[in-house]
Amino acid sequence: MSKSSKTPEFLVVIPARLGSTRLPRKPLADIHGKPMVVRVAERAMQSAAQSVIVATDSLEIQAACNEHRIECLLTRDDHPTGTDRIAEVAAQLKLPDNALVVNVQGDEPLIPVAMINQVAQALADHPSCAISTVAVAIEDQSELTNPNVVKVVLNRSGEAMYFSRANIPFVRDAKVGVPTQHLRHLGIYGYRADFLQAYTRLEPAPLEQAESLEQLRALWNGYRIQVHVASEAPPAGVDTEEDLERVRSSWKA
């Protein structure tokens, strides 16, 4: 399929909640004078998105966004996943079925702006897919056996065949010399609005529960996921106090 040269219209939604276990109150962590969720939103506003919206169940997060003139919508507090929260935003906004929504995680203040545009472009260029996402080549072999690193295998069209915490594809006999690329999945997604509404009605899939990977619910139910392979990995997000200090140092530099 030929790629469109026209930048697609899309919006960015950033789900944010205060209930982080490893780093309490993470979205409000200060990064040189502004809360992290505001830094993420400002980063996303540098993309080609028509609008950037924070979705939260926290009045504190909403107040922080209002203070910095970041659009924020209050959502229910019982959403099991960020995708469910984004689906509520799509419903609140009454988005048309073909609207494109990019989910940027609220703990990635250093996410490359180009990557946000790329995930939207990948979805726009592949109308048969309901979702788009990003992967990068694995260079560090220790990541292959690290269950915290999610791997993905693609078909010849660049669509996801499977996501796993295990080493996939498993190379049974390295002596055969078959060229094999291992890909690490990155947690940024593009969605069509009609899929978001369908997702909230789908039962959790057995594979999703086994791997603890919600994107497997889409594959289990026959939805197609287009994967953009980026040339290099973005800076890591913030999960711990050490991560936060690293980001603060990078920001200052």
Three-class SS state of 106: coil
Task: State yes or no: pLDDT of 210 exceeds 80.
Answer: yes
Q: How confident is the model at residue 228 (pLDDT cuts 50, 70, 90)?
A: very high
pLDDT classification of 97: cutoffs 50, 70, 90: very high
Reported as a pLDDT band with limits 50, 70 and 90, residue 80 is: confident
What is the amino acid identity at position 230? Answer: A
* Long-range Cβ pairs for the range 90-95 (8 Å, 24+): 90/13, 90/193, 90/196, 90/197, 91/197, 95/193
Which whole number is the average pLDDT over 212-241? 93
Q: What pTM, to 2 d.p., does this model score? A: 0.93
What's the chain's length in residues?
Answer: 253
End-to-end CA distance of the chain: 41
With residue 131 as reference, give the H or E element that holds it: strand 131-137
Q: Using alpha carbons, select from 32, 105, 27 the residue that is nearest to residue 253.
A: 32
> What is the C-alpha separation between 24 and 196, in angstroms, rounded?
28
Looking at residue 90, its pLDDT comes to 96
Give the separation between CA 116 and CA 46, rounded to whole angstroms: 10
The domains found in the chain, sorted by start residue, are 11-134+184-252 (3.90.550.10)
Beta partners for residue 186, in sequence order: 134
